[in-house]
Amino acid sequence: MSYIRHGTPVFRKTSFAFFAAGFNTFAILYCVQPLMPEFSREFSISPTTASLSLSVTTIALAISMLVFGSLSEVWGRKPIMVISMLVASVLCILTAFSPNFHLLLAFRTMVGIALAGLPSIAMAYLGEEIEPKSLGTAMGLYISGNAIGAVCGRIISGMLSDYLGWHIAIGGIGLISLVATLIFWISLPPSENFQPRKLEIRRLGKSLIDHLKDPELLCLYTMGFLLLGSNAALFNYIGYVLIAHPYSLSQTLVSWIFIVMIIGMFSSAWTGKLVDQHGKQKILIINLLIAFVGVCLTLDFDLFMKIIGLGLFTFGFFAGHSIASSWVGQRASHNKAQASSLYLFLYYAGSSVGGTVGGVFWSIFGWGGLISMIAGLLLLALILSVYLSKRQYRYKHYDVLRRQNPVKQTSRNP
């Protein structure tokens, strides 16, 4: 097998291609988040209904990822990724011409299905084609593209909406995504190490059930659901608070609030080093506590304290997500790609459920009610992290006893 190595021209082209791909995916996915107050005004709908513009996309993405990941094993990696990006970009442009909210939701659902062809395959391509020693760098650039795309998609659409309306805002994101698709298609080399396989539904189904029977994996999947559910609920409705009295901020200023997402790029990398030194259990609990404190600070009336709270929550959220997602790969003993896909499925499903249910709390109980809901989700995540920590302690204790008493060891798993 020939691998792509760090420092070579083909490595730089591949890394740039996946940076563009990550930007494309998350710019399209999250461009509607700052536009929800605009949807409420123009279509005379509640914040909860407006949040469906993101929720239907993420749930369609979550379900479709399970399908595209399996299809790529048969049809190949690059063709599906290119088609996925192209179709999603075109659908994003068509969304800008929606005359009513029902058609907008239909387009956003199709966008979610189309987008699923990239994240479900990207990591498989990188794992097959990039030299193991260079994989961390390539993966880091791809994730950076995700983060920058999510931030820029929100900021660009928010600013364009403020001056030119939401139609131009979404259309502009679609045009930028078309350029990113072209870059990806030209820059990415075809797969060299991909081996087509038969689509064995029965084997995939059995493996899926095995993953769901594992208590630790089930906890991690639920944690992903709770984390992104909290994130979507918080950022879906913060715009409604900030454009209203007494803050009365413009749409442009509100969209710049999403710059706090950049914190996630640093917290994930920094957390990785701390995990190596102190273990993932302790660092996960600490970061969930940071997220909990941050979301509680957003209850403060002072705008500066609200922004500090958003920053702390974002730090804890991204760090917690990076630990939980990597833990899945370590825990799964077989079909690791499928185990990761299951995590992402529940992760994005959490965005849909949390974002929409959060709207109900916001509409009925106001900001305090919404924050109480998010705090509850984070407390559940904390309970799960403590449970996982105790299980890990039992495993270590069992291993110590087994080494001390090799004759008495049993095959039973604690």
pLDDT of res. 319: 87
**CB contact burial 311-339 (16+ within 10 A = b; e otherwise):** bbbbbbbbbbbbbbbbbbeebbeebebbb
**Structure confidence by residue, pLDDT tens digits, 31-69:** 999 999 999 999 999 999 999 999 999 999 988 887 776
Give the whole-angstrom CA distance, residue 183 versus residue 89.
13
For residue 38, give the amino acid letter: E
The pLDDT of residue 414: 43
CA distances from 127 to 77, 121, 194 (A): 12, 10, 10
**Residue 393: predicted pLDDT:** 66
- Given this model, what pLDDT does residue 75 score? 65
How do residues 208-263 score in pLDDT, each as one tens digit?
787 788 899 999 999 999 999 999 999 999 999 999 899 999 989 988 999 998 88
Q: Would you place residue 164 in the very low, low, confident or very high pLDDT band (cuts 50, 70, 90)?
A: very high
Q: What's residue 15's pLDDT?
A: 84
Q: What is the mean pLDDT of residues 361-389?
A: 95
Which one is predicted more confidently, 324 or 264? Answer: 324
Q: How far is CA 282 from CA 286, 357, 380, 388, in A?
A: 6, 30, 16, 10
More reliable by pLDDT, 119 or 99? 99
**Contacts (Cβ under 8 Å, ≥6 apart) of 404:** none
**Over the stretch 177-214, which tens digit does the pLDDT of each residue have?**
999 999 999 999 887 776 666 666 666 667 678 778 88
Round the CA-based radius of gyration of the chain to a whole number and report it: 22
Query: What domains can be seen in the chain, in order of their start residue?
Result: 1-189 (1.20.1250.20), 201-404 (1.20.1250.20)
Decide if pLDDT at 140 tops 80. Answer: no
pLDDT at 19 over 90: no
| Residue 410 pLDDT grade (very low, low, confident, very high; cuts 50, 70, 90) | very low
In this prediction, residue 136 carries a pLDDT of 62
pLDDT computed for residue 251 by the predictor: 86
Q: What percent of the chain has a predicted confidence (pLDDT) above 90?
A: 52
Per-residue confidence (pLDDT) for residue 312, from 0 to 100: 96
Distance CA(151)–CA(82), nearest Å, equals: 23
Q: Which residues neighbour 318 within 8 Å (Cβ) at sequence distance 6 or greater?
A: 263, 264, 265, 267, 268
| pLDDT exceeds 60 at position 142 | yes
Question: pLDDT tens across 58-113, in order?
Answer: 999 988 887 776 666 666 678 888 999 999 999 999 999 999 999 999 999 999 99
> Cα–Cα distance between 88 and 115 in angstroms, integer?
6
Mean pLDDT of 363-378: 96
- Record the tokens describing residue 233, joined without a space: 């609920």
User: What local confidence, expressed as pLDDT, does residue 54 receive?
Assistant: 96
The pLDDT score that the predictor gives to residue 126 is 76
pLDDT at 330 over 60: yes
How high is the pLDDT of residue 413? Answer: 45
The Cα-based distances of 241 to 34, 74, 254, 372 in angstroms read 12, 48, 10, 16
Query: What is the pTM assigned to this prediction?
Result: 0.83
The more confidently predicted of residues 402 and 133 is: 133
For position 203, what pLDDT does the model report? 66
Residue range 12-26: average pLDDT?
Answer: 88
- Higher pLDDT: 122 or 257? It is 257
For the chain, the average pLDDT equals 86
Region at 7 (left for phi over 0; alpha for psi -120 to 50; beta for the rest) = left
250 vs 123, more confident: 250
